[in-house]
Amino acid sequence: MNREQYCKFLINGLSFHQKNVRFCTTLQMGPVISEYKETPEDLAKKIINLRENIQNNIIDNKIPTECENCIYRKQENYNTNKITQIYLYYWYHCNCSCFYCSYRDETKGEYSDKKKEGNNKIYKTLKELYKYNQVDKENLIVNFGGGELGVLKEFPKLIDFFLKNNVQHIWFESSGISYSKAVEKVLKNGKGVITVAVCSGSPEIYKKIKRRDKYKKVMDNLRRYVIAASKYKNDIFNIYNVVSKYIILKGFNDNKEEVEKWLLESKRIGLKQVEISMEFCWGIQTKAGQKIEEYNYELFDFAEKKCTELGLKLNKNLTSLDLMKKGVY
């Protein structure tokens, strides 16, 4: 097989978005598998058939036309043709109202603490895919995005399903506003990483960015997750799996004072790992071609220096690093 012809997502990925099912996480590119019009049984069959067709075509050096110009297509090894990556981004509702949220067109900034079902076809479709042996269970990596997992009604059921099937690893992004027992279970089993974008080191800035007065609650919940993660065997590194993220937002938190407060607070509640990121979801759409602002470089350097002093592990967001290297959005 010509390795340049394929992308690993086409072989091993499956992504459930709000409007459709795809192979990859890109919303604009790649083949759409379904728009959820079928029953879960039929949806699973459709996924199985399309995966088989695409994989056969790749053997004949043909890739889907939707992938021809994709910049993410690259040579990657794979050991199995089963599904090893599942992305669950299929709901919008959230208990937070970040001004920079990519879903604001859909949610209009509305939020609620009430739990709501996301899409009742997903769980059943996953069960079918497992039944037909499409998933490489022990090597499966699951990514939860969304929407907020804390207000997704079927979330605990999905977690129990993946844990029962011996999932390898689960990545969570969460607002951190409500504490999730299901996430706690994953952390206690050493099976996942939770990232909460706190983006601030004080209740005032938090409220301006997130439009909710929940800074203290979020910090308490992060602390509880750290305690849960520390329960995993004798593995002291498992607490690195609870991460506070800081997205640099112009006019809100783009200064060293706030970054320093964020790091001190992270340290105070027992976190070991933090992540810094540029704001690029809006940036890429609204600033295409413009220079990356200088404050991003300065704050990345400042965070690095401070983390070394405080003994925190700093994760620099990879997409941000790529953009900063290029110098333009």
Interacting residues toward ligand SF4 by CB under 6 A: 7, 9-10, 23-24, 26, 29-30, 67, 70, 72-73, 94, 96-98, 101, 103, 147-148, 175
For the CB of residue 210, give the shortest distance to ligand SF4 in the complex, in Å. Answer: 7
Please state the closest distance from residue 146 (CB atom) to ligand SF4, in A: 6
CA distance 273 to 158: 27
User: What six digits make up the tokens of 112?
Assistant: 């609620």
Q: Quick one: CA dihedral 48, 53, 58, 63, positive or negative?
A: negative
Shortest reach from residue 29's CB to ligand SF4, in Å: 4
Q: Minimum Å distance from CB 279 to ligand SF4?
A: 11
Nearest to 310 by CA among 255, 270, 276: 270
Nearer residue to ligand SF4 within complex by CB, 10 or 259: 10
Q: Which is nearer to ligand SF4, 10 or 299 (CB)?
A: 10
Cα–Cα dist 194/244, whole Å: 9
Nearer to ligand SF4 by Cβ, of 173 and 238: the residue is 173
CA angle 249–113–210, rounded 5-degree value: 10
The residue (of 26 and 255) whose beta carbon lies closer to ligand SF4 is 26
Considering beta carbons, is residue 196 or 307 the nearer one to ligand SF4?
A: 196
Q: Give min distance, CB of 117 to ligand SF4, in A.
A: 17
Distances (CA, A) of 146 to 90, 161, 168, 262: 6, 19, 21, 25
Long-range pairs for 212-218: beta carbons < 8 A, 24 or more residues apart: 212/95, 212/96, 212/97, 212/111, 212/177, 214/96, 214/177, 217/176, 217/177, 218/175, 218/176, 218/177
Q: Are strands 13-17 and 169-174 parallel, antiparallel or unpaired?
A: unpaired
Rg value, the chain, Cα: 20
- Between residues 57 and 189, which has the closer beta carbon with respect to ligand SF4? 57
Q: Whole-number minimum distance, CB 322 to ligand SF4, in Å? A: 15
**Please, are residues 303 and 315 in contact by the beta-carbon 8 Å criterion?**
no
Closest CB to ligand SF4 among residues 84, 238: 84
DSSP 8-state secondary structure symbol assigned to residue 250: T
Shortest spacing between CB 160 and ligand SF4, in angstroms: 23
